[in-house]
Structure 1
Amino acid sequence: MMKTEDISLFHRIVETGSLVEAADLLNLPKSTVSRRLQALEDELKVKLFHRQSRAMTLTASGSHFYDKTLSILGDLEQTLMELTDTQAEIGGHLRILMFPVPELLDIANGIFEFMEHNSELTVELIVSTEPQDMIRNNIDLAFMVEDSFNENEMVAREVISEELHFVASPGYLAKAGTPVLPEDLEKHNSILFRYPNGRIFNEVPFGNDMKIAVKGNLCLNSIELCLEASITGRGIAFLPTKVTREYVERGELTILFEDVEPYIGKCYLVYPSRRFISLASKRFIDHMMDALERCNLGQGCGREERLRGSIKSWV
C-alpha cells in the first residue's frame, strides 16, 4: 500500500537530485532510501527517475507524479489539521535555519517550548549566515533578516523588530573625526556586512527614509565580529541597540547621530512558497508567532537577563 512517507521521500530525492544527499538529509541509510523508492516505482508500475551514476533526473512520468502529489500532500495536511485536535501532540521532523540575530536565544527557547509539548517531534537547528537553498537542503522553516531572502520564493511573516544605529569607538573617532552629516559617512571607514544571499550591506539606512553608500576595508558576516571590530577601532558599524547597549554604557562605544530616528530592522519567519507546509510546520508557525510576541512584550522571555549574562555569542 502506498505510504505518504514514501511520497515525501520521493520529493526529497527530486529536490536534492541525489539518493545520497536525500539519505543524508533524512538521516537514513542509502539502501533504505533506494529500497523505498523502488517499492514506490513498483507499486506505480512506472519509472520515476533516470539513474545516471549518482545523478537522478525525473522521467516524464516522475515529473507528472511530483507536480500532482505536491498539491495532494498539501490538501492531506490541511485536512489533517482541520480534523486533528489542536491540542494533540504531533510528530515528524523539522529542519530549521536561523540567522544569528541577537534574539537567537529567544527563538531557541520558543522552539524548545514547542518540543516540550510535542515529544514525538524531532528538530534540527542550523545557525548560519550562509546562503541556503531551502528546497534543496530540505529546510522547512527559517528565521532570517530582511533583504536576506527572495520574497518571490518565500512566504515571510515578521516576528521581531529592533532598533539599529551607527557606533564607533572613542579611539577611532579621535583619530578619524566624528561624522556630523549623513554625507560624512562616505569619508569614513565602515565595517561592512555580507548578507546570507551574498549581497554586501554597503547601502546603509540613515533613519527610516534614506540610504547612505558606505565603504570600508573589512567585510564580515558575523554580528559578534562586527561588534568586536567596532570596539577595537576598525571603523563605524551599524548594529542593533541590544548588541551595543552595555558597551555604550561603559564608554567603549559611542552612538553617532543620536538626534536621528533609529532604523527599525526586522526578522522574519520564512518558508518556501512552492512546497506544501506540513502540519508540524503550521503548528510551529502558530506557536512561534505567539511566543515571540510575548518576548516582544517582555513577557516570559528573560531576554535582557540573558544578554547581560554569560551567554553573549550568537555565532
Structure 2
Amino acid sequence: MKTEDISLFHRIVETGSLVEAADILNLPKSTLSRRLQALEDELEVKLFHRQSRSMTLTASGSHFYDKTTSMMSELEQTLSEITDEKAEVAGHLRILIFPIPELLQISQAIFQFMDLNPSITVEIIVSAEPQDMIRNNIDLAFMLEDSFNENEMVARHVLSETVHFFASPEYLKKVGYPETPCDVSEHNSILFRYPNGRIFNEVPFGQDMTLQVKGNLCVNNLSVCLEATLAGKGIAMMPMPFCQDYVDSGQLEMLFKDTAPYEGKCYLVYPSRRYISLASQRFIDHMLVVLEDCSQTASCNQIAKIRGPIKPML
C-alpha cells in the first residue's frame, strides 16, 4: 500500500469531491479515480458513497481516514527525525500569503528554500479572502493575528510590524486634526475586513488602549486602503514601512507621534487536524531562521528596496 495513495485519499475526503481534488492536485480525474479504486481493492472495502456531484465517506472510510491521519503524522515525524537536516526533500507546497508589506521578503525566503531543495514544487497564493486551508489543500499560510481561528490552527510568530494612524494633509485641513485618541472615534475611518470576516473596528492604540472607530468605507486590501487614505477619505491604521515613502514626501501625516505604536504580528500557520509533511516541517524551520534574521538585521528590507516593491499584488 502506497502512502501517496493514502494522501490522495485524504485530499478527496477534505475537498468532498473527486473533481475538486483532481483540480487542486493538478491530476487527471481518471488517474485519481483509478488510484482510489486500487486502494479500495487492496483494502477490500468501499471507502466512499459515490454520488453525481460529491462523495461521502462510508463508515469504513471514516474509520480509515481517522486512523491514517495520525499514522501519516507519525510517519512524517519519524522521517524528520531520521533524515539529515541538510538532505534535500521533495514534494509540493501550496502556500497562502495574506497581502502584507513583507510579501516580498517572504517570497524571497520561499525562493531561497526552493534553491536549497530543487525537487520541491511550490504554489504561492496571495489573497485577503477567506480560504478553507483543509478544503483547498493549503499546507501553510502567512496570516495576521486575529485573522484565523486559533482553535483550528497551529501558529508560529514570524514577523512583527509597527502600525500607526495616518491621514492625508487634505483630509486634516478639511475635517481637523484629532488632538486626542478619543477624537479618532469622531472622525471617518477607513475600516479593514480580515479574511475571517471580522471588521477591524476596535483598533489598538499604544500599549494598553482600544479605540472604537467607524467609517463609510471598508476594504480588505492594503493598497486600496492606502489609496483611499491618500485620496482624503479618512484616517487609516497601516504598517509604517508601507507608508514611509508617502510620509517622507508629505502626502501622508502620521498621527500621535508621541505615542508608542501598536505592534502587529504575522504568523506562519497550518491546520492542526492535518498531518504536516516533511517538506512543510523543513519549510517552517527555514522560514523561522530567515525571517528572524530579517527582523534583526533588516537585510531583507534592503534587498527589497533594491529589487522594488510588489505593490500591484498587494
TM range (shorter): over 0.9
CA contact (8 A) 2:105 2:304 kept: no
In the alignment, structure 2 segments of 5+ residues that lack a partner are none
Instruction: Tell me what 2:304 maps to.
Output: 306
Q: Distance in 2 between matches of 1:123 and 1:34?
A: 24
Question: Superposition pairs for residues 83-102 of structure 1, below 5 Å?
Answer: 83-102=82-101
Structure 1 residue identity aligned to 2:268: L
Instruction: Tell me what 1:109 maps to.
Output: 108
Indicate how the Cα distance of structure 1 residues 28 and 312 shifts in structure 2: closer, same or farther if over 3 A, else same.
Answer: closer
Deviation at 1:246, TM superposition (A): 1.2
Instruction: Tell me what 1:257 maps to.
Output: 256
Question: Superposition pairs for residues 274-313 of structure 1, below 5 Å?
Answer: 274-298=273-297, 300-301=299-300, 303-304=301-302, 306-307=304-305, 310-313=308-311
Q: Distance in 1 between matches of 2:246 and 2:43?
A: 64
Indicate how the Cα distance of structure 1 residues 210 and 63 shifts in structure 2: closer, same or farther if over 3 A, else same.
Answer: same
Secondary structure at 1:138 match in 2: coil
Instruction: Tell me what 1:196 maps to.
Output: 195
Instruction: Tell me what 1:160 maps to.
Output: 159
Q: Distance in 1 between matches of 2:234 and 2:241?
A: 19
Q: Does 1:229 align with 2:228?
A: yes
Q: Distance in 2 between matches of 1:130 and 1:208?
A: 29
Instruction: Tell me what 2:265 maps to.
Output: 266
Q: Does 1:7 align with 2:6?
A: yes
In the alignment, structure 1 segments of 5+ residues that lack a partner are none
Indicate how the Cα distance of structure 1 residues 219 and 299 shifts in structure 2: closer, same or farther if over 3 A, else same.
Answer: closer
TM-score where L is the length of structure 1: 0.97
Q: Distance in 1 between matches of 2:207 and 2:298?
A: 28
Structure 1 residue identity aligned to 2:70: S
> What RMSD, in angstroms, separates the aligned Cα atoms of the two structures?
1.1
Moved more, 143-152 or 83-92: 83-92
Moved more, 275-284 or 304-313: 304-313
Secondary structure at 1:68 match in 2: helix
Deviation at 1:83, TM superposition (A): 1.4
Indicate how the Cα distance of structure 1 residues 264 and 253 shifts in structure 2: closer, same or farther if over 3 A, else same.
Answer: same
Aligned length: 313
Q: Distance in 1 between matches of 2:243 and 2:310?
A: 11
Indicate how the Cα distance of structure 1 residues 109 and 18 shifts in structure 2: closer, same or farther if over 3 A, else same.
Answer: same
Instruction: Tell me what 2:244 maps to.
Output: 245
Moved more, 216-225 or 292-301: 292-301
TM-score where L is the length of structure 2: 0.97
Indicate how the Cα distance of structure 1 residues 82 and 312 shifts in structure 2: closer, same or farther if over 3 A, else same.
Answer: closer
Q: Distance in 2 between matches of 1:164 and 1:79?
A: 41
Q: Distance in 1 between matches of 2:303 and 2:275?
A: 38
Structure 1 residue identity aligned to 2:14: E
Instruction: Tell me what 2:79 maps to.
Output: 80
